[in-house]
Amino acid sequence: MAVAQTQTQGQIGQLNGLMCEVRRQVSRGADPDVRRILDWAHQQTGAEIALIASDAHAVEVSGPGFPRAVLRPVAELLARLSGGELATTVTYTGGLHLRCEALGSQEPHPVLVAAGRTELSPEAAALLAHAGTALTLLRQARGSYRIRRNYRDKARQLRFAVLQALLTGGPTPARRMTVGAVPPLLEADRLRLYLLHCPPGERDRLALAHQDPSGTTGRISWCTARCSTST
């Protein structure tokens, strides 16, 4: 009983380290640092780890000791994993035990490969699977971040276009640009514009804080002088 509890506590401690790394990377909002996840998996399993790109033809990231030559004999197997025919498989080639896992739910899949002189224990295989899950989550978070960033960029462009319409033609042409989502502010016949001067780092924060519920045409937009203009 005591041995089992010790093993369980050890596994929890290992996974806590992985989760801390995932949280750190997600908080940055940048591309996943795949190498750090692979390093964690190597430290926990003792195997050399590589992430194969979704086209199954190239190593995307690998640890320094990963034997890339071992991938050529299993190229067909990697293609089947990438194409969704297999989820997980183990094989032996070139004097090495390989464990390969397809990541994510969308085809083609990137493939996580672990290579070692001995076959992974069930515990080590589970830790490798957790590393794969972490990589999948980080990639999904990256996709969501890019979608949000693209949305904010488009919203900023629309706000600036509305501002230009207000400056050149008044509320009527501005309303035409926001058909289907006209903010209440543009329902007025006349508007007063204010020029706000603020530090560059405050522009986006102010625009987000003062946008209307639609999130598309808020009350603040960047002006051509790269200040914030409130309508």
Name the DSSP class of 84. T
pLDDT given at position 9: 52
Structure-block tokens of residue 200: 């560059």
pLDDT given at position 210: 66
Rounded-to-integer distance, Cα 82 and Cα 112, Å: 10
pLDDT given at position 2: 42
pLDDT tens readout for residues 27-49:
776 677 889 999 999 999 999 99
Residues 66-76 have a mean pLDDT of: 94
CB environment 186-200: b (16+ within 10 A), e (fewer): beeeeeeeeeeeeee
Q: Which helix (H) or strand (E) holds 149?
A: helix 122-169
For the chain, give the percent of residues with pLDDT over 70. Answer: 77
C-alpha of 8 from chain center: 30
Domain spans, the chain: 2-146, 170-230
pLDDT tens readout for residues 187-208:
777 777 777 777 767 776 776 6
Residues 154-179 have a mean pLDDT of: 76
pLDDT given at position 79: 94
For the chain, give the percent of residues with pLDDT over 90. Answer: 40
Backbone angles phi, psi at 101, to 5 degrees: -135, 130
Identify the bridge partners of residue 49 per DSSP, sorted by sequence position.
114
Question: Across the chain, what does the average pLDDT equal?
Answer: 79
* pTM as predicted: 0.61
pLDDT at 66 over 90: yes
pLDDT tens readout for residues 126-149:
999 999 999 988 888 776 666 667
- Fold for 2-146, please state it: Beta-Lactamase (3.30.450)
Measured at the CA of 166, the angle between CA 162 and CA 169, to 5 degrees, comes to: 120
pLDDT at 100 over 80: yes
